[in-house]
Each structure stands twice: as C-alpha cells, then as structure tokens.
C-alpha cells in the first residue's frame, strides 16, 4: 500500500481539482476498453502543468512509488492500466490539453500531451493545415498516448506513423527532471535523436508532456473509392497501379473482407452495402492532393485496373456524407466483431509485397487447428499492417475459445516471423504482448532495451510490467 503521507504530498502538488479517489470516477481508468485488463489504484492524479508532473515524479522517485501514465485509455494492449497491487498511482494528462503554439509557415503545431487528437486536427485545419494522424478513436485518444504507442492509423501510407510526425518533445524523466526538446527544427544532427527513445516506449522511460508536430498542406481535393477485388494479391497490385498513376497521392488504402462487411451491416445501424453485388474482398482507397486540379476522374483512374482484372466493381463518394459512410464501414469493424462473440486479435505487419502470402499462410494454419474459425483480416494493407483477428466459430463457447489465446498467438506470430514481420504494428506491447516480445525479439535487441530502461529508470517506477 502507498503510505498516506505519500498520497498527501501528491495531493498537495495538484490541489483539490487535480486528484480523485472516488471509486466511480476511478473505475474507467482501471480497465482497458476491451475489459481484458483491470487493476486497482488508490488515486488518480490530474496535473495541470509540466511542473506539476515533475513534482509528482520527484516524489514518486524518492519514495519508490510506481507511476502509470495514462492518456485517453483507448489502447488495445493493457499498457495504461495499473496492476492489481494497489501500489501504483495513475497519472492522467487530460487537464493538460492546450495548443501551445501553431506556426503555419514552419508547418508545426506545439501541443500539450493531453490534447485530444481530433482537436489537434481541427486546430490545424482552421489554420489551413493538415495534421494527418487519424484513427478510429481520434475523438477521445490523446496525443501523448498516440506518441507513447507510436500510433499508426489510416494515413501511414502517405505520412508515416506517429514517430515520423514529431519534431520535438517535452518529457519528464523518471528522476523528475524535465527534458525540453520542444524544437521545430527539421534538421538537427547535434548528437543522438533523443525524442525517438520516448516514442513507442509506452511510458516506461518517462512521461511525455508536450510535443511539436509536423503539419502538411491541407488537401484541396479528395477522392474516396470503395472497390471490389478478387483477393489480397489484387489489392497489392491495385495499390501499386494507383500510386504510379496518381503521382503517389494515395493517402489511405484499407482492405476489408466480405465477412467483416457482413458483420458491420448486421450490427451497426444505418450502414448499407455500397455495391449491388456481393464480392469476397474490398479495398477502401483515398487519394488526396493539395492541388484542386490534380485528381483524375475516378472512372479514368480505375479504367486500367478494370482492364487488368484488378477491380471487379466500384463505388465513388460524391459528397462528404458518402465519404463518411464509406469510412464508417471500415471503422466499425472492431465494434461489429464484439457483437459476434469472442475474438483473438493480432496487430501485425509484414512487407507489403508479402501480405498476400502471409494472409494465405496464416489463414491455413489457424483453420487447420480449428475448423470453423472465422478469420477477419482487415486494415492498413497499404503500409503492410493487417489486423489478423480470429473470431470464435459460430455457436462455440467464447470463453473456451479465449483460453486458446496463447496457442493461436504462437501460430500467427510464427507465420509473421517467416516474413521477417512484427508482432506489434501499431497498438504497442503493453501487457498483452510482453511475453511474446521476449520470445520474438532478438537477444541483442532485448539487451539494448533493458540497458536503456536501466539507465533512465533504475528504480523501475515508470509503468512497471509493461513492454519489458
């Protein structure tokens, strides 16, 4: 248990508005949204400034009190959830939610780590700029959490992951010192690129409190296409074709199997099939340009693809409402899956060119072990990331299926490794993949990670039990 004297010192730092021990208020902070991981904590701390975060960390470092940093708590791997000991404090940055500065000429925006992603997007758009990080949880996820997990989303193909969208960071280190790396420089070769240590570290090396993010020209034109394809191989070929013929203006390229679309149409009200006929696979494609005269007519874009047999049918969004409806089909897959029963999820990546072979090999491997298992493989095939989810066979016992989680993880991850892929493409490691990381990461890689952890956090107070 955390001594009352320590809790009192922490409460004094943040003031009466900066903490709570109320059970109802704490409850949503003690579990991840899928309900797989739950924990306990005597207090939720809500600092209003970087200085307050630093004071909190100083006290915790002095007393050996573990800290669990938390953003919007929309993670998928239990990385922001305390353990069951009751000895860890939760540090939420939700009150630190200001845009500090926006420089449209330097194409940068400086923000607090607690800023909601959608609010950053809106601030950039108001200034005539684009912040391209975009994912389904953008209305509630916070940028600090996005950076701590190196979030991906739908625009990685054109703009890269969160790691590639950061120019500078402000971080409170595990001893309470503040590292001010809030620079808007695009060129800086003066020593190590320190910010990269904290991006993707899931709060195990320090607390990100601020960031300087890259902005881009706001697209003046956009085409959103929903196309029917034969298989994942056709998807990869179509992607290459469209990149060539649009001058590499494909911003997003998502693959959707028919089974996933059927789940969405069944469980998500207000959705409809964009095409009159049923097909086995679909691709949701977005082509964007800051030049209003660049995009070709959708028919011209797809004509060659139809001739090559890469596209079987297509629908084009002619309004923002139609575009939103198409994207809703893609973004509702996870919600629809939950209504179908238990599922074992895998967020993996392989080289784009290997994606068709990976999906075929992994499907065959899991179906051999459990006939009737439903493979729902969807997502960001354009950047080599697929959510290879396994739904329980119809009529099966969901809890019995989930007990085979480790078994199916090994099957899928072993296939991933044959393509030199990654077991975590964009959701992080957290608790969910911690043991698998020890198995699949090289010994040298793990030694380097442990050395960094030991050097920065020798007392092990920063998000213990996560990643390593």
Q: Where in the chain is the domain with CATH 3.30.70.2740?
A: 341-443
% of the chain surpassing 70 pLDDT:
99
Q: Which of these CATH numbers, 3.30.70.2740, 3.40.50.2000, 3.30.450.20, 3.30.160.150, describes 341-443?
A: 3.30.70.2740
Banded pLDDT at 297 (limits 50, 70, 90): low
- pLDDT per residue over 379-410, tens digit each? 999 999 999 999 999 999 999 999 999 999 99
Domain 221-334 has CATH 3.30.70.2190: yes
pLDDT of 360 reads 98
pLDDT of 67 reads 98
Average pLDDT for residues 67-77, to the nearest whole number?
90
Highest CATH level, class, for 4-92 = alpha beta
- CB contact at 8 A, 38 and 90: no
Grouping H, G, I as helix, E, B as strand and the rest as coil, residue 4 is helix
Q: Where in the chain is the domain with CATH 3.30.465.10?
A: 99-217
The β-bridge relationship of strands 89-92 and 44-45 is: parallel
Banded pLDDT at 301 (limits 50, 70, 90): confident
Banded pLDDT at 136 (limits 50, 70, 90): confident
Q: How many CA atoms lie within 13 A of 458 on its CB side?
A: 3
pLDDT of 228 reads 98
pLDDT of 294 reads 59
pLDDT at 124 over 60: yes
- pLDDT per residue over 325-351, tens digit each? 999 999 999 999 999 999 999 999 999
Q: Where in the chain is the domain with CATH 3.30.70.2190?
A: 221-334
- pLDDT per residue over 153-169, tens digit each? 999 999 999 999 999 99
In terms of DSSP H, where are the helices of 332-369?
333-339, 355-369
pTM of the model: 0.92
Banded pLDDT at 149 (limits 50, 70, 90): very high
pLDDT at 295 over 60: no
Q: Residue 443 has which token pair?
A: 């010994």
Please give the C-alpha separations between residue 321 and each of 269, 302, 326, in angstroms, as whole numbers.
Answer: 16, 22, 9
% of the chain surpassing 90 pLDDT:
88
Q: Which fold has domain 99-217?
A: 3.30.465
- CB contact at 8 A, 131 and 213: yes
Q: Where in the chain is the domain with CATH 3.30.43.10?
A: 4-92
- pLDDT per residue over 192-243, tens digit each? 999 999 999 999 999 999 999 999 999 988 899 999 999 999 999 999 999 9
pLDDT of 293 reads 65
Please give the Cα distance from 144 to 332 (Å, whole number): 24
């Amino acid at each position: 248990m955390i001594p009352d004297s320590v809790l009192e010192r922490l409460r004094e730092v943040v003031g009466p508005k900066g903490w709570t021990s109320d059970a109802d208020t704490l409850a949503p902070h003690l579990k991840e949204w899928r309900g797989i991981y739950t924990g306990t904590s005597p207090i939720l701390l809500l600092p209003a400034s970087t200085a307050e975060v630093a004071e909190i960390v100083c006290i915790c470092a002095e007393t050996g009190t573990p800290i669990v940093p938390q953003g919007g708590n929309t993670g998928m791997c239990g990385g922001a959830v305390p353990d069951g000991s009751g000895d860890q404090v939760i540090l939420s940055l939700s009150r630190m939610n200001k845009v500090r500065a926006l420089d449209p000429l330097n194409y940068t925006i400086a923000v607090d780590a607690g800023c909601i992603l959608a609010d950053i997007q809106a601030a950039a758009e108001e200034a005539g700029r684009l912040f391209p990080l975009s994912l389904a949880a953008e209305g509630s996820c916070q940028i600090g959490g996005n950076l701590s997990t190196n979030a991906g989303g739908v625009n990685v193909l054109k703009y890269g992951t969160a790691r590639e969208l950061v120019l500078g960071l402000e971080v409170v280190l595990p001893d309470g010192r503040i590292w001010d790396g809030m620079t808007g420089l695009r060129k800086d070769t003066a020593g190590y690129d320190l910010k990269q240590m904290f991006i993707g570290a899931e709060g195990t090396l320090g607390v990100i409190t601020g960031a300087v993010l890259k902005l881009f020209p706001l697209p003046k034109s956009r085409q959103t296409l929903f196309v029917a394809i034969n298989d994942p191989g056709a998807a990869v070929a179509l992607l290459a074709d469209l990149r060539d013929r649009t001058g590499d203006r494909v911003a997003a390229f998502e693959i959707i199997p028919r089974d996933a679309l059927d789940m969405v149409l069944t469980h998500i009200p207000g959705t409809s099939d964009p095409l009159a006929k049923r097909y086995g696979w679909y691709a949701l494609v977005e082509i964007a340009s800051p030049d209003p005269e660049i995009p070709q007519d959708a028919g011209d874009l797809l004509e060659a693809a139809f001739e090559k047999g890469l596209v079987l049918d297509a629908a084009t969004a002619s309004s923002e409402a139609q575009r939103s409806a198409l994207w809703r089909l893609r973004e509702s897959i996870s919600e629809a899956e939950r209504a179908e029963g238990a599922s074992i999820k895998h967020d993996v990546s392989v080289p784009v060119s290997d994606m068709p072979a990976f999906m075929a090999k992994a499907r065959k491997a899991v179906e051999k072990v459990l006939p009737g298992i439903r493979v729902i493989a969807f997502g960001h095939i354009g950047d080599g990331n697929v959510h290879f989810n396994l739904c329980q066979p119809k009529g099966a016992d969901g809890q019995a299926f989930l007990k085979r989680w480790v078994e199916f993880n090994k099957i899928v991850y072993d296939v991933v490794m044959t393509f030199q892929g990654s077991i975590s493409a964009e959701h992080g490691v957290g608790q969910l993949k911690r043991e698998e990381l020890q198995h699949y990461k090289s010994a040298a890689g793990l030694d380097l990670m442990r050395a960094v952890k030991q050097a920065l956090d020798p007392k092990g107070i920063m998000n213990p039990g996560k990643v390593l």
